[in-house]
Each structure stands twice: as structure tokens, then as C-alpha cells.
Amino acid sequence: MNNLRHEAPETKRLTLVLGGTGKTGRRIAAGLDAKGVSVRIGSRSAFPSFDWNHDAGWDACLEGVEAAYVNYAPDLALPGATDAIQAFVDRAKRHGVQRLVLLSGRGEAEAQACERIVQESGMEWTIVRASWFYQNFSEGAFVDMIRSDQITLPAGDTMEPFVDVDDIAEVAIAALTENGHAGEVYEVTGPRLMSFTDVAAELSRATARKITYLQIPHGAFVDGVRESEAPKDVVWIMDYLFSTVLDGRNAHLTDGIQRALGRPPKDFADYAREVESTGVWGTASSSRVTDRVDREEI
């Protein structure tokens, strides 16, 4: 990512990717760069630095920016997210940003409140509404569970249309660089509903190992996250996701990827086979799952 192209601010073709080192952001940044789009990474480790909790650095990040991918970490449902999104939208508008693409959450009233802020901004906007990512099992919170052959979560038998982050990134790239996506709400899902038991079965087939799903009490799970010394906002969002969002409200498929890209979404089985070929699930790690929570919506 260090060789991303940069242009002089006066060309006004710079695209800011917030969360540019996370699951969706780094894919979007790489995809934009491959298309010849100049990218500015928005993260605490980048220069200029972007931090949702310190708006003093926002002006430097927005200088010369024409379009922005907005990803609020760890989740738009977090208290204070609407204030932060409103402040960012106002600042972006003052800097002459023309187009916003917001990563939002399916079935989250708080996220939809943030969507309305973007929709009422006066700028071109596109909403990409997603929920649980395939990549949580290979890049995020649950990877060590797969390495240990057991998924231990308080998810019950709830069905969820897990979605591939590569698909999300491709939708966002299209919305940032092409005409025809302004004013669209793309609710994105995979091609089928799956329970965590189904996920375990697909992962078993891909790895040729017996991977099982074991339901654990919600309280015990949250206590484990807390005891891992995860940040308070991560504890809050994990509690929220498993107690509120994963209740069946999202147990239906949508056509967002088909509408945005003209093709069906990628299936979990294809994702699992590709990841298995990389060896990422090969050995168990001593780190606890809650130490690996990616501070991006899961």
C-alpha cells in the first residue's frame, strides 16, 4: 500500500478511504489504486492521521478530496456515532467533497440514522448496507476458533446471509468511481442464508477437518471478551451484535450486489476453498479470539 499514487491537491481527484487499513478499506484502496485513482488512507497510523475521536486532524485529511469512503469504527450503532458522522459530513462539505459512500449496517436503527445524515448532506451519496462478513472467519474475530476446530459463539440457530468483503469492496469502488450509483442504497448479502452450524460444515469441507459449532451462553461470551482486555467499545459492540442484531431480523436475501455489479454475490463455499489454499487456518494460535477483534463492523 506504500506505493499508492498521489496527485497534487489542485487536480481534485483524490479519494479518501476511511478505515483504509481494515477489512473493507484496504481492499477498496488497492482497487482504486489499480484503476489509477489517487488514494489517501484515513487511519490513525497514516499521514496525515485520521482519528474519529480527534477531529483536529480531519482538515488535513480532507484537503483536495473529491470522494470519500466513510467507515465508522467499530460500528455506526455505537453511542455518539451520529454526532461524529454529522461532524464529518459538515467538514467534508466545507472542503468541497462531492461524493460519499457510507458503509452501513443491516438491521441497525442507529446506522440508518447515520445514513439519513449522509443522504441529507447535499452531496452525491451511496449507502452500502452490510452485516456479517465471510472474512471474520479468516481475518478477524473468529480465525483462531477455526484453527482450533470449534466455533464457540452465542448465536443459536439464527440464519444470516453472510457476505464476502471482496464483493462489498467492489460495490464501493464502483460507487466511488462510476456514474449511476448516486442515491442508491445497496443492501448486500451473500447468495444464501446460513447458520453458524452451516458455516462450520462448509469450513469442514474446505479444510478436510471436523470443525463444529458450539453454542455458549451470551453472558459467558461477553465476559470472555471483557476478560481479554478488549477495548470497552469492542465489548459493547460484540454484546450488541449477538444480543440485538443476530436475532433473525436480517434473515433474508437482497439483490444489492446484483444491482450494483450486474453479477451474483460470491458463495461462502468458494470463499472457504480460496482461504484454505492460503494456509491461514493451518495452525492454532495461543492468542484469544477477543484479542483479534478487527475494529470494523463484523
- Can you list the positions of beta strands (E) in the chain? 14-18, 38-42, 65-70, 99-105, 124-130, 150-153, 184-187, 212-215
Three-state SS annotation for 189-246: CCCCCECHHHHHHHHHHHHCCCCEEEECCHHHHHHHHHHCCCCHHHHHHHHHHHHHHC
For the whole model, what pTM was predicted? Answer: 0.91
Query: Distance (Å, rounded) from C-alpha 161 to C-alpha 290?
Result: 23
Grid coordinates 442515491 are at which residue? 183
Say whether 148 sits in a helix, a strand or coil.
coil
- On whether the CB atoms of residues 61 and 16 are closer than 8 A, the answer is yes
Query: Distance (Å, rounded) from C-alpha 203 to C-alpha 7?
Result: 43
User: How many CB atoms sit inside 10 A of residue 247's CB?
Assistant: 12
Domains delineated in the chain: 9-132+164-187 (3.40.50.720)
The pLDDT value recorded for residue 141 is 81
Q: Is 11 buried (19+), middle (13-18) or exposed (0-12) by CB count in 10 A? A: exposed
Show Cβ contacts of residue 19 under 8 Å, excluding neighbours closer than 6 positions: 25, 42, 43, 69, 71, 72, 73, 103, 296
Strand partners, 275: none
- On whether the CB atoms of residues 291 and 285 are closer than 8 A, the answer is no
Grid coordinates of 9:
491537491
Per-residue b or e along 42-74, where b marks 16 or more CB atoms closer than 10 Å to that residue's CB: bbeebeebbebeeeebbeebbebbbbbbbbbbb
Helices and strands, number each (H, E), in the chain = 11, 8
Q: What is the per-residue pLDDT across 212-258, written as a single tens digit (0 to 9) for each?
A: 999 999 999 999 999 988 899 889 999 999 999 999 999 999 999 99
Grid coordinates of 95:
472542503
User: What is the distance of C-alpha 254 from the center of its chain?
Assistant: 17
Show Cβ contacts of residue 116 under 8 Å, excluding neighbours closer than 6 positions: none
The secondary structure of residue 293, as a DSSP letter, is: -
Q: Give the pLDDT of the chain (298 residues) as one tens digit per residue.
A: 444 544 443 444 799 999 999 999 999 999 999 999 999 999 999 999 999 999 999 999 999 999 999 999 989 999 999 999 999 999 999 999 999 999 999 999 999 999 999 999 999 999 999 989 999 999 988 999 999 999 999 999 999 999 999 999 999 999 999 999 999 999 999 999 999 999 999 999 999 999 999 999 999 999 999 998 889 988 999 999 999 999 999 999 999 999 999 999 999 999 999 999 999 999 654 334 333 334 344 4
Query: Distance (Å, rounded) from C-alpha 111 to C-alpha 268?
Result: 25
Query: Distance (Å, rounded) from C-alpha 170 to C-alpha 184?
Result: 15
Query: Distance (Å, rounded) from C-alpha 129 to C-alpha 251?
Result: 14
